Amino acid sequence: MLVIAGWQTAASLCYYSIFAATSFVREDFDLSRTLVGVFLTAALLGYTLNLFPSGAAVDGFGERRMMVASLLALAGGAVAVSLAPNYLLLLGAAVLLGGAYATAMPASNKGIVASAPRGRENLAMGVKQVGVTAGSGAASLVVTGVAAVLAWRLGFWVIAVVAGGYVAVFWFAYSGTGGTGRWELPDLSKLTGDRAYLLLVAAGLFVGATIFSMLGYVILYVEDVVGAGAAAGGVVLALTQAAGSAGRVGAGSLADRLGSADSAATVSLVQLGGAVALFGALGAGVTSLPIAAAVFGGLGLTVLGMTGVYYSCLGELVPSEDLGAATAGGQTAINLGGLLAPPAFGYLADTAGYRVGWAAMAVLSACGVVLLWGVRREIAGYS
């Protein structure tokens, strides 16, 4: 379990480095806030397009091979971003980086479901998901820290070296669960007939919209509204991710303690409800650095902290042999939200101000709450 969490950390270190670089990308390429959102969307596009093919590869050839190949490709993608001489090639590098990350959720979720102790599945998923926030938080410190003394592009090389080094560790430390021996796109007919699964996937659309918009604009918000520098924004982003780690472990542990069939759905519902209030606070206007750090930390505990129990809930709804496809479906919905929302948020920030953008995030979170309530009701009806 810890080896998988380490892999997830290394993979997320590569992918989420682009969120830490938003301020430097904006300055180097002379971009508007909207075009910064398009840069983030390009990575999500690659991520989304490769989800079902990579999920099928995980089910067919086992997660170990795919995780090794993915981490090598992620290291290469990070280097490609650092070498991009113009905005168009930067977008292309972002697409490649996102495509390499697509294996992460189908593969790591399959490994966790296979290895987690009975009765501790939610906690195990939360611990694995800590790798996402830990990797992202580390990326924000590495990119902004290296930029403060050298150049932001060199931070991507540091990240690539770390990821490449972990490939060897993972290859010898993890044996994997195997697969069917063939690659074939999944049959989704069984999944589309499950109302609870469909509602959960629909909720993922709104979860993704809020998560990726928040992560993409934390540093710019700290710069533009709070009046602090990119380094301070990087620290706030890292603190947000640290809070997300705590939220994922805490939420998973609580769901295991509740022990009911709908416990994961209940915990995720409460967390997303908290995010509604916190986005509303940002919409009301926050200009103090300590208060902004506290609010973003709260969003880390809530909307970032709920993804572990989100995937646990998904894993409880489908048989293990369909988990790769089911995860790809859930992650696709999250990514679609991320594809659409960050450029729209950037446009709102450019034209109407950040307050309107954060208020829109509060509304989207509320829509997700309604859908998760429906998931909880459906699961309760099963039992």
pLDDT in tens, 210-257: 998 998 889 889 999 988 887 888 889 888 988 988 888 888 888 888
Rounded distance between C-alpha atoms, residue 133 and residue 135, angstroms: 5
CA distance 101 to 43: 9
> Could you tell me the pLDDT band of residue 117, with boundaries at 50, 70 and 90?
low
261 contacts 379 by C-beta, under 8 angstroms: yes
pLDDT of residue 114: 67
The letter for the amino acid at 75 is: A
Is residue 115 over pLDDT 70? no
Give me the pLDDT at residue 352, please.
93
Sort 80 into a burial class: Cβ within 10 Å, 0-12 / 13-18 / 19+.
buried
Per-residue pLDDT at 105 exceeds 80 = no
Predicted confidence (pLDDT) at residue 383 exceeds the cutoff of 60: no
Burial class (CB in 10 A: 0-12, 13-18, 19+), 234: buried
Confidence at residue 262, expressed as pLDDT on a 0 to 100 scale: 79
pLDDT confidence of residue 189: 66
pLDDT confidence of 204, banded at 50, 70, 90? Answer: very high
pLDDT for the residue numbered 2? 75
Per-residue confidence (pLDDT) for residue 288, from 0 to 100:
92
Q: Which of 2, 159, 136, 139 is nearest to 74 (CA)?
A: 159
> What pLDDT was estimated at residue 278?
96
CATH superfamily of 2-174+188-382: MFS general substrate transporter like domains (1.20.1250.20)
**pLDDT tens digits, 352-366:** 999 999 999 999 999
The answer to whether 308 and 108 have CB atoms below 8 angstroms apart is no
**Span 306-334, mean pLDDT?**
76
Domain ranges of the chain: 2-174+188-382
Per-residue pLDDT at 125 exceeds 80: no
